[in-house]
Amino acid sequence: MSTAEALVLPATRTSVTWRLLRSELALTFRRPRNLVMMAILAAVPIIIGVVIRLVGSEGDAGGMIAQTAGNSLMLTVVSLFVLVPLLMPVAVAVVAGDAIAGEAGTGTLRYLLTAPAGRGRLLAVKYLNAVLFGLALTLTVATAALLTGLVLFPAGDVTLLSGTTISLGEGLLRVLAMVGYVAAGMAALAAVAVALSTFTEVAIGAIAATVVLIIVTQVLRAIPQLDWLAPYLLPTRWTGFDGLLRDPVPMSEIWQSLLAFGAYIVLFCSLAWARFTGKDITS
């Protein structure tokens, strides 16, 4: 047993971070709670699809329902539209709000830090993990919706909101872009939740605070007198993925939303970092 060997760093910083991230991902994607959440959200498109199949065939239902019944791709859009305002953010908040507070609550945080994971690295890994969970969740929902759509509804050209028709291939590309957009929106929320998570030792507190914040911003958004505030609120930006269904695609608005997500990420990650690197770990 050579004690000197302990001081030799075996690999580069990135490979060390990557190993910790893998461990983190394994923890997240093996945790029954998270898997149940993903399964429930993946079930939503299936339920919507079956309901539309039953209702939509009963004659002249208008708008989205008719479009969904008419094209297999539209179920993905409808499902995202239903899940993005509340349910997906809540699921992301559960994972991201748990990030630091959960470890503090079980006491494992002190062992991770003496291991030593390094505070900056641990925070980065925790945040990346939440971002990847958001992406995986969006992909799961989109995939479930796509498969359900293909089984229940005819495949073919897609009608955009502007009334233009595009090919199925381009439609798929646009759905992929939507997944990216929604995942970016969830990444912005994850930054908020991780920041809140560094301020408490009770995971449920950070999660609840994030969910309350989502609901409050949704309410603020609905108040006409506060319209000037709406563009700065995350929920307003989340549903902006419908821009990808217009012709021409309003790229400037989409870039603005992505910039807004970026601003949230920078602000809240730096807050989390400032808090976490200076925090006394007494749990």
Partner 1 sequence: MTVESPAELTVRAPERAPAAPPAAEDPAGGAAIVTRGLTKRFRGGQVAVDGLDLTVPAGSVFGFLGPNGSGKTTTIRMLLGLVAPTGGTHELLGLPLARALPAVGAVVEGPAFYPYLSGSANLLRFDAANPAASGRDAARRVGRALERVGLSAAAGKRYRAYSLGMRQRLAIAAALLTPRRLLVLDEPTNGLDPQGTREVRALVKEIAGDGTTVFVSSHLLAEVEQMCTHAGIMSHGRLVAHGTLTELHAGRSARLRVETPDLAHAAGILASLGLADVRAAGEEVTAELGEHAPDRVNAELVRQGVAVRGLAVARPSLEEVFVGLTGEGFDVDG
Partner 2 sequence: MRTGKLVRWGVPVAAAAVIGAAVAAGPVIAAVGSDPVLPERTASQLLADAAAAAERQSGIQPMSGTVTKTASLGLPALPGADAAGGDSPLALLTGAHEVKVWYGSGERFRLALPGEMSEKNLIVNGGQAWLWDSASNTATRLKIDLGPQAKHTPPTPQPTDMTPQQVAEKVLADAEQHSTVSVTNTDQVAGRAVYQVSLAPKDPSTLVKEIKVALDGETYVPLRVQIYAKDSAEPAFEVGFTQLSFAPPAEENFTFTPPAGVTVKDQTITGAELAKTDRMDDMPALKTVGQGWSTVAVVPFELPSDAQAKQAVDSFLKGATPVSGTWGSGRLIKTKLLTALLTDDGRVLVGAVTPDKLTELAGSR
Which parts of 239-268 interact with partner 2 (CB under 8 A)?
239, 242, 245-248, 250, 252, 263, 266-267
Span near partner 2 by CB under 8 A; candidates 109-117, 139-147, 162-170, 171-179: 162-170
- How far is 235 from 218, CA to CA, in rounded Å? 6
- How far is 73 from 147, CA to CA, in rounded Å? 9
- The identity of residue 166, as a single letter, is I
User: Residue 165 binds which one of partner 2, partner 1, none, with CB within 5 to 8 A depending on kind?
Assistant: partner 2
- How far is 236 from 222, CA to CA, in rounded Å? 10
Q: What is the 3-state secondary structure (H, E, C) of 26-88?
A: HHHHHCHHHHHHHHHHHHHHHHHHHHHHHHHCCCCCCHHHHHHHHCCCHHHHHHHHHHCCCHH
| Longest alpha-carbon distance in the chain | 79
Is residue 27 a contact point for partner 2 (CB under 8 A)? no
Is residue 57 a contact point for partner 2 (CB under 8 A)? no
User: Residue 53 binds which one of partner 1, partner 2, none, with CB within 5 to 8 A depending on kind?
Assistant: none
> What would the x/- binding string for partner 2 be over residues 170 to 209, using CB under 8 A?
----------------------------------------
Is residue 53 a contact point for partner 2 (CB under 8 A)? no
- Residues contributing to the site for partner 1 (CB under 8 A): 1-11, 13, 16, 19-20, 22-23, 27, 31-32, 106-108, 110-118, 121-122, 278, 280-282
Measured from the Cβ of residue 165, the count of other Cβ atoms closer than 10 Å reads: 12
User: Residue 169 binds which one of partner 2, partner 1, none, with CB within 5 to 8 A depending on kind?
Assistant: none
**For residue 92, what are its two tokens?**
């992301």
Burial (CB < 10 A; 0-12, 13-18, 19+), residue 93, is buried
Is residue 59 a contact point for partner 2 (CB under 8 A)? no
The three-state secondary structure class of 240 is helix
The three-state secondary structure class of 227 is coil
Kindly tell me which of 27 and 229 has the beta carbon lying closer to partner 2.
Answer: 229
Residue of 4, 14, 224, 282 that binds partner 2 (CB under 8 A)? 224
User: Which residues have CB under 8 Å from 228's CB, separation 6+?
Assistant: none
User: Residue 106 binds which one of partner 2, partner 1, none, with CB within 5 to 8 A depending on kind?
Assistant: partner 1
| Interface residue list for partner 2 (CB under 8 A) | 62-64, 66-67, 70, 77, 81, 157, 159, 161-165, 222-225, 227, 232, 239, 242, 245-248, 250, 252, 263, 266-267, 270-271, 273-274, 277-278
